[in-house]
Structure 1
Amino acid sequence: MSYCSAINGMQPESRRALHKKYHDHHYGFPIHDDDELFGRLIMEINQAGLSWETILKKEESFRAAYDNFNIHRVAAYTEEDRERLLSDPGIIRNKLKVNAAIENAKTIVGLQKEFGSFEKWLEHHHPKELTEWMKLFKKTFKFTGGEIVNEFLMSIGYLKGSHDENCPVYQEVLKHDPLWQKI
């Protein structure tokens, strides 16, 4: 069952509304801001082993904890910042995930220097098959297994699959995302 179909079967209404907002306005749409791309990567990494609903409910806490996903600030985090994050009940307090966020921020700073932006690094490698993306992410980033890479890339429009062709949002994504024409 696709995410598009699953939303309609969700109960109660508050749960459905949370997913519908993400589905209708964010999932599969391109992101052109490096900090927001980094934020989506943090959220996808933190979803591993948990429900996406858990992550959506904690999004504002993630934003607050990680300085609104500011890549340069996160890359400069100290051991005190790591400890702060690991004691923050508003986010996922997993040492591997916290360390991955900080180390991935440092990696993205390097990619920005080399390519001009995280987005340009992604564009430089597009299009690729999922297996090729997985190898690239595993080589480049921390804590980025196949499902994380797949969901991250679908959620930002680099891989098809975020919406069924009969989903009303599918046509909206096509209007906003010329990358789908290259997939």
Structure 2
Amino acid sequence: MSYCTAINFMSEDRKALHKAYHDHLYGFPIHDDNELFCRLVLEINQAGLSWETILRKEAGFRKAYDKFNIQIVAAYAEEDRERLLGDAGIIRNRLKINAAIENAKTILALQQKHGSFEKWLELHYPRAKDEWVKLFKNTFRFTGGEIVNEFLMSIGYLPGAHDADCGVYQRVLREKPLWAGDILAKKYL
């Protein structure tokens, strides 16, 4: 069952939480490197947990990780790691916390070389899912197949975030996710 369909069967409080993400964020392109970093960290933290857990803790993540400011997170020291490990507002997993800090450093290097994290992503578009996974595993920490797939789908680099008959699907298309260019080009050829 797709995310679009599953939301309709949730209790009202769960539905409200998921619809806010589904209707306004999921699958829409992101053009801000800090927000791209945020989404990557959230997807990494979802590993082994439900997306609902992450949605409920998103505000805690934003506060704990300095609103996902890449420069600040990349400069975190051991005391910051310990602070994060003690913060009940986030997922307190040392591997995931270390991945966030190291991935922030990696993104800074990508920004230096390519101008932005977004430009680095665009440079590698299009790729098949397995190629993306290999690229991410060679570039970032804690990025397996499901994390990479969900990250790229959630930011408009891979299709599949919404069913074609979902009301949000057309809104996502109007935002011109990269994958839609392939579909629209074929439609008008």
> TM-score, normalized by length of structure 1?
0.98
3-state SS of the aligned residue for 1:58?
A: helix
Other-structure match for 1:8:
8
Q: Work out whether 1:46 is the aligned partner of 2:49.
A: no
Alignment of 1:8-157 (within 5 A): 8-11=8-11, 13-157=12-156
Alpha-carbon distance, 1:182 to partner: 3.0
Q: Which amino acid aligns with 1:87?
A: G
Alpha-carbon distance, 1:178 to partner: 4.2
3-state SS of the aligned residue for 2:91?
A: coil
Post-superposition Cα deviations, 1:8-48, rounded to whole Å, max 9, x if no partner, equal 0112x011010001000000000000000000000000000
> TM-score, normalized by length of structure 2?
0.95
Alpha-carbon distance, 1:181 to partner: 1.3
Q: Which amino acid aligns with 2:114?
A: F
| Unpaired stretches in structure 2, ≥5 consecutive residues | 184-189
RMSD: 0.7
In structure 2, C-alpha distance between the alignment counterparts of 1:67 and 1:162, rounded to whole Å: 28
In structure 2, C-alpha distance between the alignment counterparts of 1:157 and 1:178, rounded to whole Å: 5
| Unpaired stretches in structure 1, ≥5 consecutive residues | none
3-state SS of the aligned residue for 1:131?
A: helix
In structure 1, C-alpha distance between the alignment counterparts of 2:97 and 2:35, rounded to whole Å: 17
Q: Which amino acid aligns with 1:120?
A: K
Percent identity over paired residues? 73
In structure 2, C-alpha distance between the alignment counterparts of 1:63 and 1:42, rounded to whole Å: 10
